[in-house]
Amino acid sequence: MDVIFGNLDLWGTAIKNTLIVFAGGGVIALVLGLIVGAMRVSPVPIARGVGTVYVNIIRNTPLTLVFFFFVRGYPALGLPRLSPLVLGILAIGIYTATYVAEVIRAGINTVPVGQAEAARAIGLPFGQVMTNVVLPQAFRSVVPPMMSVFIALLKNTTIAAGFSVSELAALRATVNDSGDRPGSPMEVLLWVALVFVVLVFVLSAIQNRLEKKWRIVR
C-alpha cells in the first residue's frame, strides 16, 4: 500500500485529470454525436454528406494521431494557447463523437418510419420530429451500446498520458522517475488497472439502472 499512501498527491492529481478528460470528452462526444447522428439521417443531402464525411474520416483515423494533431499540431497553427488537458479533452471528445453518432443513427433506425411520417404529416419540422418523437424512443434502445462507447472512452483516456496530461497512465513514469517515491512500476500498473476496473463497474451499474428505468415493454 506504500505505492498509494506514499504518493497520495500524485494519485489524487491523476484520478482527477482522468475523470476530467472522461467527463469533458463525454460531454463533447454526446452533444456533437447527437448533432452528427441527426445529420446522418437528415433528409437534406448536404447534411447527410457532411455527417458521413466527418464520421468516416475521424473514425478511421487512429486516436493517437488525433491526439497528436491537437496537442502538437494545434499550437503550430497560431491559435489561442490551450493547456494539454483541454486539448486532450477536445481530441478524445471529437473522436468519440463519431461512435456516438453511429449509435444514435442505429437507434433512430429502430423507430418505426410511420411515426416520423405521421409527425411530418401534422406539420412538424425535421428538428421537432427528431427531438419530440424519434430521439426519445431511440434513446431507450441505445443504452447498452452507448455505455460501451463511454467505457471505451474511459479506457482511451490513457492515451492522454503520452501527450503531457498527468492522468492515471502517467503514474508509472512519475513514480518510477522520482527516487523519493515508494513503489515499483509494476505495482503502479496493477493499482491503475484496479482503479479502471472500479470505474467500469460504476459505469456498468449506471447502465443497468438506465436500462431498468427506460425498459421497453414488448
pLDDT score recorded for residue 52: 92
pLDDT score recorded for residue 115: 76
The region that residue 83 occupies, defined by phi over 0 for left and psi between -120 and 50 for alpha, beta otherwise, is: beta
pLDDT score recorded for residue 217: 46
**Burial tier of 83 (Cβ tally within 10 Å: 0-12, 13-18, 19+):** exposed
Rounded alpha-carbon distances, angstroms, from residue 163 to 12, 55, 82:
19, 24, 13
pLDDT score recorded for residue 218: 41
Residue type, 216: I
Domain boundaries, the chain: 8-170
- Mean pLDDT for each 10-residue chunk of the chain (218 residues)? 66 86 94 90 87 92 89 76 87 94 86 77 78 77 86 89 74 60 69 88 87 62
This prediction has a pTM of 0.82
Task: State the Cα–Cα distance between residues 46 and 51, nearest whole angstrom.
Answer: 9
C-alpha cell at 147: 455505455
Task: Let me know: does 91 contact 67? Beta carbons within 8 Å.
Answer: yes
Task: State the Cα–Cα distance between residues 172 and 26, nearest whole angstrom.
Answer: 25
CATH superfamily of 8-170: MetI-like (1.10.3720.10)
Task: Let me know: does 21 contact 157? Beta carbons within 8 Å.
Answer: yes
Rounded alpha-carbon distances, angstroms, from residue 120 to 6, 91, 104:
63, 37, 20
C-alpha cell at 209: 439502472
pLDDT score recorded for residue 46: 92
